[in-house]
Amino acid sequence: MNLIETLASLALILVSVYLLSVITEGFFIVSLDQISRRLKLSDEVAGASLMAMGSSAPELAIALMALFTGGGAHSDVGIGTIVGSAVFNILVITGVSAVVAGGLHTHPFAVRRDTLYYLLSIGYLAFIFADGEVLLWEAILGLAAYVAYVLLLVFYKDPSKADLPVAGVDKAVEPHGGSGDGLRHHIESAITKLLRMLTGPPEKNYLWTFIAAIALIIALSYILVESTIVFAAGIGIPPVIVALTLLAAGTSAPDLISSIDVARDGRGGMAVANAIGSNIFDIFIGLGFPWVLAILFSNMASIHVGADGLWMSIGILVGTTLVLYVLLQSQRMLSRREGIALLTLYLVYVLYTLLSSVTV
């Protein structure tokens, strides 16, 4: 592996993440707002369902590719990306959203509901890892658990206070670089105009824009995972470590940008619900759906999951979730200072992961 290939793979990773941010902010969020408004969904329900499903498309695509592409380099990338993304979502998405918005105000009922169900999904993940084998009924159980979660969101409302429907934000699809005349602004303008030729006005063609945005996210995810495998080989780090850190952060870019966007609009509950809801989707669907397909379309009775090195990350998932829950319940908001604390915890997690790969 020469230096040029390594640098080229890193460049592809950065470009893919950048394009994910443009597509998410300029197209995905606009279509999501329109769909949420017409379905009269609350901020928390929209964040934990539609936004979570759409912005988690990269993790689902990578999990599918990891199973069906095969090969040693891809073996643990799917699970590693989803576990790493879960840590990123809990610590970075909520932390950055709180810092940018100056604090996140949330509904205690929604926080309790989503947190408890997310802990249930972590328990499901631990159950799968326990014997290292995934049977068909275990994979289907994950899919059924997510369907139950969506039904819970729709029908189980806060008995003490009815959630208000999403107000929606009518946005013109403009580059998020502002009105400046810099090179970045011109590049974003060109990309946005090109994408509008495919989707039309996103605020009007919201269904087609929503579908097209998810398709583009999946395509970029393919580039991300292949570039990450090349980059990992070039710098001599195991692919699962890169998946837990760099790839996890890259594929969570849509979640991060979506949450920052709604947090700036004062919808802190939606930002938190997106972070937690994305994690629930990643575990039950991002892993369960590829497992079901792999078992049904292969001669194997089960799928082997070699994830012994991820037990610590599962413990971290439980710990960080409980920390976030306590912070959100304390004053029914996440302050900017607490957001910085969550970001510091993520930095510690990344350093620990990288150092553990060196010492193993």
Domain ranges of the chain: 3-359
Taking 80 as the threshold, does the pLDDT of residue 286 lie above it? yes
pLDDT value at residue 170: 40
Long-range contacts of 36-40 (CB under 8 A, 24+ apart): 36/165, 36/166, 36/168, 37/165, 37/166, 37/167, 37/168, 40/165, 40/166
Question: Under CATH, which number does the domain 3-359 receive?
Answer: 1.20.1420.30
Strands (E), 142-196: none
pLDDT value at residue 223: 82
Q: How large is the average pLDDT for residues 8-12?
A: 88
pTM greater than 0.85? no
pLDDT value at residue 73: 45
pLDDT value at residue 148: 93
**Measured between alpha carbons, how far is 311 from 307 in angstroms, rounded to an integer?**
7
Q: How confident is the model at residue 340 (pLDDT cuts 50, 70, 90)?
A: very high
pLDDT value at residue 72: 42
Taking 50 as the threshold, does the pLDDT of residue 174 lie above it? no
pLDDT value at residue 164: 41
pLDDT value at residue 160: 59
Residue 350 is which amino acid?
A: V
pLDDT value at residue 179: 43
**Measured between alpha carbons, how far is 352 from 228 in angstroms, rounded to an integer?**
20
pLDDT value at residue 143: 93
Q: How confident is the model at residue 138 (pLDDT cuts 50, 70, 90)?
A: very high
User: How would you label 296-306 residue by residue, b for 16+ Cβ within 10 Å and e otherwise?
Assistant: eeeeeebbebe
**Measured between alpha carbons, how far is 184 from 346 in angstroms, rounded to an integer?**
29
Closest listed residue to residue 320, CA positions, set 288, 350, 287, 357 = 350
Residue 274 is which amino acid?
A: N
User: How would you label 36-70 residue by residue, b for 16+ Cβ within 10 Å and e otherwise?
Assistant: bbeeebbbbbbbbbbbbbbbbbbbbbbbbbbbebe
Q: Which helix (H) or strand (E) holds 334?
A: strand 333-334
